[in-house]
């Protein structure tokens, strides 16, 4: 049987038709959670809910654009924006960051506006742009739901929502809460669904929905709890596809505890077997040195997975990110799998692989991490230090750690030092980075 690339039911995920964009609304205040901070910035296992929400967004989803709609508070805005840098490095999508409004509807409108501007810039037809609108609060939504909604939206459905059957008996009650409240009807459970996100729309429809919501006024905006509800108001067909129990909306502290439990269950080994001799961790070391590019062949500076606008770049066949490369080398060293040259080729001896031209440091680190995992290791941690008089790391250290940790799928600590003016680093001729990595043999490799 052959699988057609546009067949959403069978086989591999269908390739995107037109252009795929994602809007993540993360501008809410999290009042019901009660942590005194915007919900998207609340941490679950040391990562923000927005970080978790973006975990499901992989390169396979084929997104060309990700719009993050963030709270206006500058400190929170800056902290959450780092998740965008990491998502861009991981998926190759353009990332646009914008500020939300006072209601969810207003925040979606702000995200829609950003998609429309980008589409215009790229010359995309709004009818050919499919937009997934997702709540950061549904932080554990699996990738398969994104794929399902995107495929259904592209297969001519006008509006698409993921949903799950409800398990409670749902009753309609009188309006007044408290002792006066009475049940007036029991709804037919078989016909009820709990609706989730991401919801899929063409950009042209989403623009229509935003316009309708704006015309209805702010009070009505508060009543619209999702975009599909506006579509229903307009008589637009809304297609329902299967959602997922993990796509629960984290609203209260109880939901946060449930989400924590789901994460714990995912990490716990299926059967905890006591090991007589737990395998010893393996330590690796890696160095990388890149010279600054000649003035007649200027390059952009990429270091520690970040772009450093306006700074003189490093020479190299790839993007010259010595910090990321040292991390790769340390991983290979710890696994006893050779070095950078073994896996990616080396410019100095003329074995650089053509496909590595301009390759991003974060991308190479993700690939190195994949290779050592495939060889049967779990990555404990990586620590990397670069020696150079510039760029100044301190203001962007957190961002660099986040991007590299995301790429490696394990904690990466980044530090920097100068060489007191001595040597090539002191003379500003280049940068040297040294990394160490700890790997834990996980004992399930077919390769060892």
Note every long-range contact of 355-359, with CB atoms under 8 Å and residues 24 or more positions apart, other chains counting: 356/317, 356/318, 357/317, 357/318, 358/318, 358/319, 359/318, 359/319
Q: Which stretch binds ligand CTP (CB under 6 A): 11-19, 32-40, 266-274, 429-437?
A: 32-40
SS3 content of the chain, % helix, strand, coil (to 5): 40, 25, 40
For residues 135 and 138, what is the distance between their CA atoms, to the nearest angstrom? Answer: 6
Give the nearest distance from C-beta 33 to Mg ion in angstroms.
Answer: 10
Question: What is the distance, to the nearest Å, from the Cα of residue 249 to the centroid of all Cα atoms in its chain?
Answer: 18
For residues 26 and 234, what is the distance between their CA atoms, to the nearest angstrom? Answer: 26
Give the nearest distance from C-beta 254 to Mg ion in angstroms.
Answer: 16
Give the nearest distance from C-beta 29 to Mg ion in angstroms.
Answer: 7
- Residue 7 or 218: the one with the smaller Cβ distance to ligand CTP is 218
- Residue 108 or 425: the one with the smaller Cβ distance to ligand CTP is 108
Give the nearest distance from C-beta 207 to ligand CTP in angstroms.
Answer: 18
Binding track over 7-46 against Mg ion, x by CB under 5 A: ---------------------x------------------
Give the nearest distance from C-beta 208 to ligand CTP in angstroms.
Answer: 20
The string of DSSP codes covering 62-107 is: -EEEEEEEE-S-HHHHHHHHHHHHHHHHHH--EEEEEE--SSHHHH
Give the nearest distance from C-beta 225 to ligand CTP in angstroms.
Answer: 8
Question: Is residue 244 classed as helix, strand or coil in its secondary structure?
Answer: coil
For residues 223 and 233, what is the distance between their CA atoms, to the nearest angstrom? Answer: 12
- Residue 107 or 360: the one with the smaller Cβ distance to ligand CTP is 107
Cβ count within 10 A of residue 347:
16
Place of tokens 């799928």: 409
* By the rule CB under 6 A, 39 interacts with ligand CTP: yes
For residues 446 and 374, what is the distance between their CA atoms, to the nearest angstrom? Answer: 8
Q: Choose, by CB under 6 A, the member of 61, 69, 306, 408 that binds ligand CTP.
A: 69
**Partner from Mg ion, ligand CTP, none binding residue 409, C-beta < 5-8 Å depending on class:** none
- β-pair partners for 301: 308
Site for ligand CTP in 100-159 (CB under 6 A): 100-104, 107, 135-137
* By the rule CB under 6 A, 23 interacts with ligand CTP: no
Site for ligand CTP in 203-262 (CB under 6 A): 249, 251
Give the nearest distance from C-beta 189 to ligand CTP in angstroms.
Answer: 24
- Residue 80 or 306: the one with the smaller Cβ distance to ligand CTP is 80
Instruction: Name residues whose C-beta falls within 8 Å of residue 423's C-beta, 6 or more positions apart in sequence.
Output: none
Give the nearest distance from C-beta 222 to Mg ion in angstroms.
Answer: 9
- Residue 101 or 411: the one with the smaller Cβ distance to Mg ion is 101
* By the rule CB under 6 A, 198 interacts with ligand CTP: no
Burial label for 200, CB within 10 Å (0-12, 13-18, 19+), is buried
Give the nearest distance from C-beta 217 to ligand CTP in angstroms.
Answer: 16
Place of tokens 């069978």: 10
With residue 245 as reference, give the H or E element that holds it.
none
Q: Six-digit token pair at 407?
A: 């790429």
Site for Mg ion in 216-275 (CB under 5 A): none
Closest CA to 38 of 85, 81, 80, 93: 80
**Count of residues touching ligand CTP (by CB under 6 A):** 23
**Partner from Mg ion, ligand CTP, none binding residue 52, C-beta < 5-8 Å depending on class:** none
User: Which of the 8 DSSP states describes residue 8?
Assistant: S
- Residue 68 or 326: the one with the smaller Cβ distance to ligand CTP is 68
With residue 190 as reference, give the H or E element that holds it.
none
Q: Which residues bind ligand CTP (CB under 6 A)?
A: 25-33, 39-40, 69, 100-104, 107, 135-137, 249, 251
């Amino acid at each position: 049987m052959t699988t057609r690339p546009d067949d959403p039911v069978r086989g591999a995920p269908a390739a995107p038709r037109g252009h795929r964009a994602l809007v993540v609304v993360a501008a809410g205040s999290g009042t019901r959670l009660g942590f005194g901070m915007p919900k998207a910035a609340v941490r679950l296992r040391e990562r923000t809910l927005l970080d978790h929400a973006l975990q499901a967004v992989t390169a396979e989803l084929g997104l060309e654009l990700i719009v993050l709609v963030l709270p206006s508070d500058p400190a929170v805005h800056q902290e959450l924006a780092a998740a965008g840098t990491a998502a861009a490095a991981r998926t190759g999508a353009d990332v646009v960051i914008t500020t939300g409004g006072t209601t969810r509807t207003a925040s979606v409108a702000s995200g829609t506006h950003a998609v429309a501007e980008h589409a215009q810039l790229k010359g995309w037809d709004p009818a050919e742009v499919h937009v997934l609108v997702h709540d950061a609060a549904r932080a554990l939504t699996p990738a398969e739901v994104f794929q399902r909604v995107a495929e259904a939206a592209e297969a001519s459905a006008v509006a698409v929502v993921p949903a799950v059957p409800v398990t409670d008996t749902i009753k309609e009650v009188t309006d007044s809460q408290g002792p006066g409240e009475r049940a007036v009807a029991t709804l037919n459970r078989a016909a009820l669904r709990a609706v989730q996100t991401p919801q899929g729309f063409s950009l042209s429809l989403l623009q229509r929905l935003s316009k309708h919501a704006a015309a209805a006024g702010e009070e009505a905006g508060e009543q619209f709890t999702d975009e599909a509800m506006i579509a229903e108001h307009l008589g637009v067909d809304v297609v329902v596809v299967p959602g997922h129990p993990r796509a629960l909306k984290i609203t209260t502290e109880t939901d946060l505890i449930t989400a924590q439990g789901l994460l714990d269950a995912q990490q716990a080994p299926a059967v905890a077997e006591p090991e007589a001799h737990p395998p010893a961790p393996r330590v690796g070391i890696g160095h990388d040195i890149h010279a600054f590019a000649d003035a007649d062949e200027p390059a952009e500076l990429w270091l520690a997975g970040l772009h450093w606008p306006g700074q003189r770049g490093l020479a190299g066949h790839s993007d010259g990110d010595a910090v990321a490369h040292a991390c790769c080398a340390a991983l290979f060293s710890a696994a006893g799998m050779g070095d950078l040259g073994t896996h990616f080729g080396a410019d100095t001896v003329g074995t650089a692989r053509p496909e590595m031209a301009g390759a991003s440091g974060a991308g190479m680190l993700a690939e190195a991490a994949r290779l050592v995992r495939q060889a049967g290791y779990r990555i404990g941690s990586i620590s990397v230090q670069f020696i150079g008089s510039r760029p100044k790391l301190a203001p962007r250290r957190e961002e660099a750690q986040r991007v590299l940790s995301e790429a490696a799928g394990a904690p990466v600590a980044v530090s920097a030092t100068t060489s007191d003016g001595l040597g090539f680093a002191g003379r500003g001729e280049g940068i040297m980075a040294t990394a160490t990595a700890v790997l834990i043999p996980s004992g399930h490799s077919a390769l060892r």
